[in-house]
A and B are shown apart, each in its own frame.
Chain A
Amino acid sequence: MLKIEGLHVSYGPIHALKGIDLEVNEGEIVTLIGSNGAGKSTTLNAITGLAKVQSGDISFNGRHIANISPYRIVRLGISHSPEGREVFPALTVHENLRLGAYSRSDKRSVAAAYERVYALFPRLKERTGQTAGTLSGGEQQMLAIGRALMSEPKLLLLDEPSMGLAPNLVAMIFELIQSINQQGTTILLIEQNANMALSIAHRAYVLETGTIAIAGAAAELARDPRVKSAYLGG
């Protein structure tokens, strides 16, 4: 479904991605783990057109999508919930979600998307008229994921959805990610919480300073001594 080959991205003198190969197949949860500054977010930003692709190729369902505007990427069926819950603080929950469906004008399908998101996150439904800035951290995270789902993406990119959440909320978010996947959405998940990520993912990649160090089935990586010592706390 998504295929990245030889991807290079630089921010001025910083060479953030040094030739990455990565693939996500339809129906999978693929996780990309790695320490801070490894280039995980940059990988997602390159896919969605927020970061400039220097060289290499990104294709989605056979179509070349490198350096295409973010709004076109959304229309192709890729949705990106960015790191740090970037909500629209002064807009209501309802308006935030509406914006996630900006690319769609068919009222019926927008209504269906609302229903799906509210079913996944009943908390958001209770707070539909509240401004996003007044939500708790966990609720803002739900809103960021919910907003990404409003465009009914084929591929959902999640950047550290568990960051800064209490343990019970983390477990809940991971369960939700699994059920979103079971409902038919392919997922590329970035996580610092490698344990949890590997437990729900089908396959995994380990990113180290801009290069893929290890790749394979998630269950295998969870047993890999290199992964264990570096990312799973021994």
Chain B
Amino acid sequence: MQTFLGAVINGLALGMAYALIAVGYSMVFGVLRLINFSHGAVYAFGAYMVFFFVSLKLGLLASILLSVVISGLLAMLVDKVALEPLRKKKSIPIATLITTIGVSFIIQNVLSIEYVFGSERRAFPSTNLFANLSIGNITIQSSQIIMLIVAVLLLGVLTFLVQGTKVGLAMRAIEQNRKAAHLAGINVDLVISFTFFIGGACAAIAGALIGGYYGVINPGMGSTIGLKAFAAAVVGGIGVLHGAVVGGLVVGVVECVAAQYLGSNVRDPMAFVILILILILKPNGLFGKKGITKV
């Protein structure tokens, strides 16, 4: 029972971090009906930026803040340089999709260049900033507690942003009717840029939280987690913010419990096992809206 509970707690913390990545997929999908496969690489980039600024002795918090801004800008730049031109030319969706996959490779490989960060794993500053919490036999690391709290707060802020602010209303409007959004006087390009920025910023925070929990990072760290977070977003119902959160939690908990009892080899595939099962039962995901999934 205690090992089970321990695995669940591990899963909840990790799942909230997945949720932070998943919302990036979900929000971009919302405004553009596009799966942005470069998102996982931006997550890795965010972790590396934290690593870089810490190595300059800037302190962890300042490093994270800088990384958040730079990663947000990178995500925005990816859209402006690679995706927006395709959108303006009304190119086929598949062209944009493969472009995001290409961008993901480019970012990942630039990070791997010997003169940049190199392809080796690097030690990442631990986010075990205070004593571990012990309840009975269960030990919860402070990095997990931080992960959980930061992610919950951020997702709360995001929910408010989307549901309670003018720019959030604009995002929802673009999602439903781009033409009408233009005519209502919304600067649609700006709102799309903003959406990418928020997605990139959240990914960078997730990068810092997960990097600080495992204590190591590598340039390819975004590919598996990126796909898992994407699966989480689809499990919850892509385009739905709280869906991404629940999807992240489900994936996190199930994979930690599975790893506990069946060995760590089953950890990574679990997200996709869940994905397949959920989609058979609910084709639009747990909270998905009907008709939103046509890409």
Binding site for B on A (CB under 8 A): 48-50, 69-71, 74-75, 79-82, 86-91, 95, 98-103, 105, 147-148, 151
Instruction: Say yes or no: A71 contacts B185, CB within 8 Å.
Output: yes
Chain B contacts for A82, CB-based, 8 A: 179-180, 183
Residue of A nearest to B190 (CB): A71
Complex-state Cα separation, A71 to B170, whole angstroms:
12
Residue of A nearest to B184 (CB): A99
Instruction: Say yes or no: B166 contacts A70, CB within 8 Å.
Output: no
Chain B contacts for A147, CB-based, 8 A: 184
Residue among B173, B181, B182, B185 having the largest count of chain A Cβ atoms under 10 Å: B185
Q: How many residues of B contact A (CB 8 A)?
A: 19
Binding site for A on B (CB under 8 A): 166, 169-170, 172-173, 176-177, 179-189, 289
User: What is the interface of chain A mostly: helix, strand, loop, or mixed?
Assistant: loop
A-B contact pairs, 26 of them (CB 8 A): A48-B182, A48-B183, A49-B182, A50-B183, A69-B187, A70-B185, A74-B183, A74-B184, A74-B185, A75-B185, A80-B183, A86-B177, A86-B179, A86-B180, A88-B180, A91-B169, A91-B172, A95-B169, A95-B172, A99-B184, A100-B185, A102-B184, A102-B186, A105-B166, A147-B184, A151-B185
Distance from A97 Cβ to chain B, minimum over Cβ atoms (Å)? 10
Given A71-B188, A91-B172, A91-B176, A86 and B183 touching (CB < 8 A)? yes
Chain B contacts for A95, CB-based, 8 A: 169, 172
Instruction: Say yes or no: B170 contacts A102, CB within 8 Å.
Output: yes
Inter-chain contact count A-B, CB under 8 Å? Answer: 72
Q: Apart from A88-B173, A98-B166, list 8 A-B contacts with CB within 8 A.
A: A48-B182, A49-B182, A50-B183, A80-B183, A81-B183, A88-B177, A88-B180, A102-B184
A-B pairs, top 10 by smallest CB distance, nearest first, are A74-B185, A103-B185, A70-B182, A86-B180, A99-B184, A102-B185, A71-B187, A88-B176, A71-B185, A80-B183
Chain A contacts for B180, CB-based, 8 A: 82, 86-88, 99
Distance from B92 Cβ to chain A, minimum over Cβ atoms (Å)? 15
Complex-state Cα separation, A81 to B188, whole angstroms:
18
Residue among B172, B177, B179, B186 having the largest count of chain A Cβ atoms under 10 Å: B177
Complex-state Cα separation, A174 to B181, whole angstroms:
25
Complex-state Cα separation, A151 to B179, whole angstroms:
17
Distance from B164 Cβ to chain A, minimum over Cβ atoms (Å)? 12
Option from A49, A81, A99 in Cβ contact (under 8 Å) with B169: A99
Given A87-B180, A88-B176, A90-B176, A98 and B169 touching (CB < 8 A)? yes
Instruction: Say yes or no: B177 contacts A70, CB within 8 Å.
Output: no
Complex-state Cα separation, A87 to B179, whole angstroms:
10
Instruction: Say yes or no: B172 contacts A70, CB within 8 Å.
Output: no
Residue of A nearest to B166 (CB): A102
Chain B contacts for A81, CB-based, 8 A: 183
Distance from A190 Cβ to chain B, minimum over Cβ atoms (Å)? 14
Complex-state Cα separation, A210 to B176, whole angstroms:
31
Distance from B11 Cβ to chain A, minimum over Cβ atoms (Å)? 32
Residue among A89, A99, A101 having the largest count of chain B Cβ atoms under 10 Å: A99
Instruction: Say yes or no: A87 contacts B185, CB within 8 Å.
Output: no
